[in-house]
């Protein structure tokens, strides 16, 4: 199972979280977010985890293709997560502007099954989908769960991650009910925005292993 821990701001926490078993680290590149990091801060974390088998994903919203490509290059990112209202055309143009190996993830804030239908429209222009909880004023990191019952029949032809209010306490229930191929956590393993609680991250991986669904990327 792919496990992405998002909102990384500190190099030492990035190293510890990758060592605990995360397969991807996420960096918030949205200036209005309390978890925002600059290109230089991303670079510092990426240098600290050099050689570790972990993806490095920048999270963007309401920005330009030029700025995304610049951050990918300067920060040494392996993936781009689009968390705003990016169109199919935008995703297609971004794909043309990025190196072929860079993954594009599209976040979909799910309120109804209609949102899931629209998510499938992105399949030709992105590599991975991420399903997050809908909030009228916030893009992510809200701590709210989406209605897992909506996802019972969701089976796209590309990889996808379940996000939205996941915690060490509810992760086993989420996996049992939804059976996602990957998960994404942020606020559920934090002391405060951008400051990860390593004890909770360790508890997350312990519970994942108990569920039988997690295989360490080191295996």
User: pLDDT-based confidence at 216, cuts 50/70/90?
Assistant: very low
Query: Which H helix or E strand runs over 39?
Result: helix 39-48
User: pLDDT-based confidence at 213, cuts 50/70/90?
Assistant: low
Distance CA(56)–CA(73), nearest Å, equals 12
Residue for token pair 């292993």 = 209
Helix, strand or coil for residue 143? coil
Distance CA(51)–CA(153), nearest Å, equals 38
User: pLDDT-based confidence at 212, cuts 50/70/90?
Assistant: confident
Residue for token pair 């191929």 = 181
Query: Which H helix or E strand runs over 59?
Result: strand 55-60
Q: Are β-strands 24-28 and 55-60 bridged in parallel, bridged antiparallel, or unpaired?
A: parallel
Question: What is the CATH T-level fold of the domain 2-194, as seen in this structure?
Answer: TIM Barrel (3.20.20)
DSSP 36: B
| Of 94, 70, 73, 74, nearest in space to 82 by CA | 94
150-164 pLDDT, tens per residue?
898 888 999 999 999
What is the distance, to the nearest Å, from the Cα of residue 61 to the centroid of all Cα atoms in its chain?
A: 13
> What is the chain's mean pLDDT, rounded?
91
Rounded to the nearest 10 degrees, the angle between the axes of helix 39-48 and helix 65-75 is 30
**Higher pLDDT pick, 129 / 118:** 129
pLDDT of residue 143: 54
pLDDT of residue 146: 83
Query: What's the residue count for the chain?
Result: 219
pLDDT of residue 61: 96
pLDDT of residue 152: 85
User: pLDDT-based confidence at 142, cuts 50/70/90?
Assistant: low
**Structural tokens at position 127:** 């590599």
Q: Name the catalytic one among 39, 55, 132, 184.
A: 132
What are the structural domain ranges in the chain?
2-194
Distance CA(18)–CA(4), nearest Å, equals 10
Q: 6 an active-site residue?
A: yes
pLDDT of residue 141: 47
**Higher pLDDT pick, 144 / 55:** 55
Q: Give the number of other CB atoms < 10 A from CB of residue 5.
A: 27
Q: 218 an active-site residue?
A: no
Arithmetic mean of pLDDT, 113-123: 90
Half-sphere exposure of 153 (CA within 13 A, CB side): 6
Q: Name the catalytic one among 6, 29, 39, 55.
A: 6
| Of 99, 159, 156, nearest in space to 128 by CA | 159
Query: Which H helix or E strand runs over 195?
Result: strand 195-196
């Amino acid at each position: 199972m792919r496990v992405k821990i998002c909102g990384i701001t500190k190099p030492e926490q990035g190293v510890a979280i990758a060592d605990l078993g995360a397969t991807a680290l996420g960096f918030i590149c949205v200036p209005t977010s309390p978890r925002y990091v600059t290109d230089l801060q991303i670079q510092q974390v990426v240098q600290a985890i050099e050689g570790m088998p972990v993806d490095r994903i920048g999270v963007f919203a309401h920005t330009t293709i030029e700025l995304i490509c610049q951050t990918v290059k300067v920060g040494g990112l392996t993936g781009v997560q689009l968390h705003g209202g990016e169109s199919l055309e935008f995703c297609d143009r971004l794909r043309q502007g990025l190196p072929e190996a860079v993954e594009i993830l599209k976040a979909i804030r799910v309120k109804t099954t209609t949102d899931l239908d629209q998510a499938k429209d992105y399949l030709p222009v992105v590599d991975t989908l991420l399903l997050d909880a809908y909030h009228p004023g916030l893009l992510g990191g809200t701590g709210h769960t989406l209605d897992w019952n909506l996802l019972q029949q969701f089976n796209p032809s590309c990889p996808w991650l379940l996000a939205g209010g996941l915690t060490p306490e509810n992760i086993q229930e989420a996996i049992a009910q939804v059976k996602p191929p990957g998960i994404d956590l942020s606020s559920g393993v934090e002391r405060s925005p951008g400051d990860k609680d390593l004890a909770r991250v360790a508890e997350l991986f312990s519970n994942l292993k108990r569920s039988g669904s997690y295989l360490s990327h080191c295996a």
